């Protein structure tokens, strides 16, 4: 990170699955023949699994930030980390059990940040959508309670706004919380950020004792040195 003073770090990195094109053919043929064709299948590119990106990659960023004297880390993670059976954890999971569990690996990195000693804010957005921000009421919660709602998405722009405002709000420090938005027109768009983070400060502490279990590791001793 060089010699410049870095006051804060926002971590938005995430493993990104890629679709297996041949699996689309299987799905389309199933539809043409009016048979169950299954779902599309995915894989993570080499070096881009959740274990490598969402766990070890995040740990490397946190360690570098701590060494550089960064005063605040904001992590964009994901809702669903309390539930090992969440569908997202099955994406690209290999027969051996490794390769998937993206939400579980994210949660492991969150625990590392919370124990790092660096002031932190951990944000768990719901499903990300590409719609304009600043037009919806942002709802906050903890421990995946918001997953029970029938609609649980949030524009990417609104997640970015929460990240920026978290850097400016003392009430956001050492907090982990979930966020979604109400549909446009339901509730006033969130703009009073001191009030928003005041509500966050009034929530119970996020419960990291809810344990989804240990994910199978392809690199139990850490990533190989390059």
Active-site positions?
A: 78
| Confidence (pLDDT) at 37 | 58
Q: 108: pLDDT confidence band, cut at 50, 70 and 90?
A: very high
| Calpha distance 219→223 (Å, rounded) | 6
| Confidence (pLDDT) at 226 | 72
| Confidence (pLDDT) at 216 | 95
Q: 24: pLDDT confidence band, cut at 50, 70 and 90?
A: confident
Q: 201: pLDDT confidence band, cut at 50, 70 and 90?
A: very high
Asked whether residue 165 carries a pLDDT value surpassing 90, the answer given is yes
Asked whether residue 23 carries a pLDDT value surpassing 80, the answer given is no
Asked whether residue 36 carries a pLDDT value surpassing 80, the answer given is no
> Region 144-165: what's the mean pLDDT?
97
| Confidence (pLDDT) at 127 | 97
> Region 140-155: what's the mean pLDDT?
96
| Calpha distance 115→109 (Å, rounded) | 10
> Region 35-61: what's the mean pLDDT?
90
Asked whether residue 3 carries a pLDDT value surpassing 60, the answer given is no
| Confidence (pLDDT) at 47 | 95
For residue 174, which of 76, 30, 72, 49 has the smallest C-alpha distance? 72
Asked whether residue 214 carries a pLDDT value surpassing 80, the answer given is yes
| Calpha distance 170→201 (Å, rounded) | 9
Answer for the pair 208, 106: CB distance below 8 angstroms, yes or no.
no
CB atoms within 10 A of CB 137: 18
């Amino acid at each position: 990170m060089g010699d410049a003073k870095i006051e804060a770090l926002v971590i938005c990195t995430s493993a990104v699955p890629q679709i297996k094109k041949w699996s689309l053919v299987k799905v389309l043929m199933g539809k043409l023949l009016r048979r169950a064709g299954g779902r599309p299948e995915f894989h993570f590119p080499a070096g881009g699994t959740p274990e490598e990106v969402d766990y070890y990659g995040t740990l490397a960023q946190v360690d570098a930030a701590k060494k550089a004297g960064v005063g605040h880390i904001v992590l964009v993670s994901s809702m669903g980390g309390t539930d090992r059976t969440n569908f997202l954890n099955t994406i690209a999971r290999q027969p051996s059990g490794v390769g998937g569990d993206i939400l579980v690996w994210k949660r492991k990195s969150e625990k590392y940040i919370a124990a790092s000693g660096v002031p932190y804010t951990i944000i768990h957005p719901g499903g990300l959508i590409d719609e304009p921000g600043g037009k919806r009421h942002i709802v906050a919660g903890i421990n995946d309670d918001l997953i029970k709602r029938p609609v649980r998405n949030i524009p990417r722009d609104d997640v970015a706004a929460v990240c920026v405002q978290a850097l400016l709000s003392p009430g956001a420090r050492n907090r982990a919380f979930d966020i979604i938005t109400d549909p446009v027109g339901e509730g006033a768009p969130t703009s009073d950020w001191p009030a928003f983070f005041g509500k966050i400060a009034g929530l119970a502490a996020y419960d990291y004792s809810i344990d989804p279990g240990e994910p199978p590791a392809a690199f139990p001793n850490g990533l190989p040195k390059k």
